Each structure stands twice: as structure tokens, then as C-alpha cells.
Structure 1
Amino acid sequence: MTIRCLICNSSVVLSKDAAKSIARLIGALDGFLNGIQRSASKSPTTASAHNEKPLERAFRLMIDGVAGASSSWATTQDFIRDVRKYQFMEYDCLCLRCGATFDTPTEEDEQP
């Protein structure tokens, strides 16, 4: 069922749960990419790092990326709390067209 805005009847409505999921995904990707960038910018200091094969390097970068994503989890949670507090307040839905906030309509609300 598509939720429509109560004000402008737009179907471009974001639920609070969807916003949390999007923020988690963006936060994880940001931490992952930052971890990879930090790892890639470090100059290899040992002789074994110079002889590293491409697949080994790719795995090392992925591991560093996952570590970066997990270390940024607290910051991501803070961002999610701010989105819930300042964008949605106590409501469940946000219209991306007109900015209206409202609760998810129930079946009783939709009947004439």
C-alpha cells in the first residue's frame, strides 16, 4: 500500500523506519570508505607489504573498511537520533514534497 501525503496527496512519503535504514546504510558506507582510504594512504613499511599480491591487498582493504564502518557506528547512531528528533518529531511519516509530518494512516482513517 502506498502512503499518500495528507496535505498534498503526493506519494513521495518517507517513513521513519525507511529513514533509519537509509541513514544506517549511508553511515556504514561512509565508515567503510573512510577505513579503506586510511588504509590505502598508509605507506607500506615492511618488506612483506611490498610483496603483497593484489588479492591480499583487496582483502586487507576490505577488512580495514569493515573496521572503519564499525568504528563509525556511534556517530551513525547519533545522526539517526537527530533525524528522528528533528525531521520526524513524534510522527511516523514525512512528505518529501511539502514537508508535512503525519502518522501512518489506519484503515479507519481511509474510510469515508
Structure 2
Amino acid sequence: MFDASLTANESEMQTQKLFSEPVRIFEKYRTGEGGELKKHIVCLNCLLSDKPLDLETELMLGFWDHLMPGFPASLPRKISLESVLGNAIVGGEIEDELLQPQFGIGLKGVS
């Protein structure tokens, strides 16, 4: 017979409240042996809603996600890479399959 664990509720996912203002987090990590130490990754991550999206909004964001940063010929991607601020785009996708939808995009190889 199965006995329910007393800690089952401890692993339950809770929603994140939206911040009233931007929060900056700076993290350092090793890139590996022989990696360029003066290169950085800069990312912007946004929680889009404090609850799941309605179907119409989710569909609209899905189209936007495909057409804008996710599409190789998109203007934001082209401008970012031609700016020489970084050498690759990181992320650039809406994650709507999570408990709360979020968007994140960044540049890799920033000097």
C-alpha cells in the first residue's frame, strides 16, 4: 500500500509575484578552462504575468515569439548581431509552458 509523504506539499510549485520595479542580479561563473575571461553574457528576463495566460494572448505571443527574435532574419536579431555588442543571441523565446509565462533574451560574448 502507498503511504503519502508528509513532505509532498514542500515540492509544490508556487507562483511568483510580479516585481513593482526592475531587479538586477549579477552572477559570476567559470566558462571552462582556456575560455576568454573578459567576455560576458547579458540577459534580460521578464515574468509576463502572475497567472497563466488566456488562450488569445498565448496565441498572439506565440506568433510574436516566432516572428521577432526567434526568426533568423528578424530585424531585432539582425540589429543585435550587427551592433558588435555581442557575438550571439541567447534565449529570445517566450516560455509559456511554465506555470507562469516568461520571456528572456540576451547577448553572449559581450566585452
Q: Which has the larger radius of gyration?
A: 1
Q: Which has the higher strand share?
A: 2
Q: Which has the higher helix share?
A: 1
Per the TM superposition, whether the score is higher than 0.5 is: no
Normalising by structure 1, what TM-score? 0.25
Higher relative contact order (CA 8 A, sep 6+): 1
Normalising by structure 2, what TM-score? 0.25
